[in-house]
Amino acid sequence: MDISKLMFRDGLMEGERILVTGGGTGLGREMAEAFLKLGAEVHICGRRQGKLDQAAGELADRHGGTIVGHACDIRDPEAIHEMVDAIWRHGPLTGVVNNAAGNFISRTEDLSVNGFNAISDIVFRGSFYVTLDVGKRLIEEGRKASFLSILTTWIWNGGPFVVPSAMSKAGLNAMTQSLAVEWGRYGLRFNAIAPGLFPTDGMSARLSPGGRGGNSHDEMNPMGRHGEMHELANLAVFLMGPGADWVNGQTIAIDGGGFQAHGGNFYAALKDMGDEQWEAMRAMIKGTNAKDRAERST
Ligand code: HXC
């Protein structure tokens, strides 16, 4: 990210302690960098200790401050509880970004139950487990906080060829709207961002393996491009930082108008693929999954 394009003053987020799930890579790392740069203490979690150490080391070198990596698979509620205990020993969180995700393109008829669960256990269940564990502590201690979930525009119109992701993220949208109301009285607010394409390594390898597939929307976008990381980071800071405390229960798209123009999903790009192409895509995606798995510490 071009950090000079952050819209906010240094020190804006001093006193904030924010957990970003999936913060070692991709969009999570970018948001973590922005929060750190603006003075927040940042906690990132993920399944690969190496990626967390690398991100925390590089970002601390660049911006100073405190950023801590926690190896934690959010599919495991016990592991979440231990991580949040460790964070709480030094003080409460003031914010959580539910960013961690898993996804891959597939014809739905090619999915197994395990394939569905691999995605929904991370996105749908895992994000809820994190929200519940942190939320209970905040309610008990009477503290305010902000929760932000990273969704997609598919929550509004469905995601053909990414059905487990679309279903899971739509569920998190319902969580955002529900808890904004139910837990608003405790001073806890819930918002979400629905990004269009912000290409990352993890996403491109699974949604556009080999460069073909879902990640080819730039020319269809009204603004002729994909998103830039500082644009996402600015919106995340606005929603997580002090000063926007009355924004609650909102899901905000950031996609250059792609959703309005062409629905924002992958139907057009993938509908004509045949068996052989799907087989090749699946092989590439599984290769990426295996490589990532080998780097995992949890
Ligand atoms: C069909 C597949 C498959 C594929 C995996 N599976 N890839 N099925 N087609 N391409 C099946 C496997 O065969 C297995 O089922 C089951 O899924 C679990 O596979 P594992 O590889 O063992 O899972 P695991 O190692 O736990 O990995 C989880 C993952 C992986 C979700 C599959 O992709 C992951 O860790 N992703 C994290 C990063 C990521 O996805 N980032 C992109 C986020 S993009 P069987 O039946 O064989 O046991 C995003 C939104 C983008 O969220 C929005 C853009 C607009």
Q: Which CATH number characterizes residue 22's domain?
A: 3.40.50.720
CA distance 221 to 152: 15
Mutate to test the pocket of ligand 1, among 103, 127, 165 (most ligand atoms within 8 A of CB): 103
- Residue 2 maps to a domain: no
Contacts of 295 (CB under 8 A, 6+ apart): 48, 50, 51
- Residue 1 maps to a domain: no
155, 196, 225, 260, 265 from 216: Cα distances, Å: 20, 12, 10, 17, 11
**Distance in Å, CA 47 to ligand 1 centroid:** 14
Closest CA to 296 of 46, 80, 22, 34: 46
With a 6 Å cutoff on the Cβ, whether 119 touches ligand 1 is: yes
- Residue 55 maps to a domain: yes
- Give me the domain span that covers residue 44: 11-297
- Residue 53 maps to a domain: yes
- Residue 5 maps to a domain: no
- Residue 273 maps to a domain: yes
CA distance 123 to 74: 9
The interaxial angle of helices 26-37 and 229-240, nearest 10 deg, is 60
Q: What angle do CA 170, 134, 132 make, to 5 degrees?
A: 45
- Residue 133 maps to a domain: yes
Residue 295: how many other CB atoms lie within 10 Å: 11
- Residue 136 maps to a domain: yes
CA distance 189 to 247: 8
Task: Give the number of domains in the chain.
Answer: 1
Please list the pLDDT of the chain residue by residue as tens digits (298 residues): 899 999 999 999 999 999 999 999 999 999 999 999 999 999 999 999 999 999 999 999 999 999 999 999 999 999 999 999 999 999 999 999 999 999 999 999 999 999 999 999 999 999 999 999 999 999 999 999 999 999 999 999 999 999 999 999 999 999 999 999 999 999 999 999 999 999 888 888 888 887 766 666 788 899 999 999 999 999 999 999 999 999 999 999 999 999 999 999 999 989 999 999 999 999 999 999 999 999 886 5
102 CA closest ligand 1 atom index: 40
With a 6 Å cutoff on the Cβ, whether 294 touches ligand 1 is: no
